Amino acid sequence: MSDPQPTLNEILEELHEALEASDDLGDEAREKLRSAAREIQQTIGDETAEPQSPLDRLNEAIESFEGKHPKLTAIVGRIADALSDLGI
């Protein structure tokens, strides 16, 4: 039986798709999210990476646009939850 929860990689892919579809997201916020997603993907594959850095970046990105972009905020929140569940 497979796990009904989406994997972190699936959620990150959803984030990438939402970033591409969001026309009113500023370049700075878009780049912060892309950068955070890249760091998360690198951290997942590198056990020696500092685990808090990607989560800190996600939290910073959330704070910068949560009022204007609730869908992206929700996706980023799910990523943060998945990272937390992984102990990262």
pLDDT in tens, 24-37: 888 888 888 888 88
Within 13 Å and on the Cβ side, how many CA atoms surround 65?
A: 24
Give the pLDDT confidence score for residue 78 in this predicted structure.
86
Within 13 Å and on the Cβ side, how many CA atoms surround 75?
A: 21
pLDDT in tens, 3-25: 556 788 888 888 888 888 888 88
SS3 76: helix
pLDDT in tens, 48-58: 445 456 777 77
- What lies within 8 Å, CB to CB, of 18 at 6+ separation is 71, 72, 75
**CB neighbours of residue 38 within 10 Å:** 13
**pTM confidence score:** 0.51
H or E element that contains 16: helix 8-21
Where do the structural domains in the chain lie, given as residue ranges? 8-85
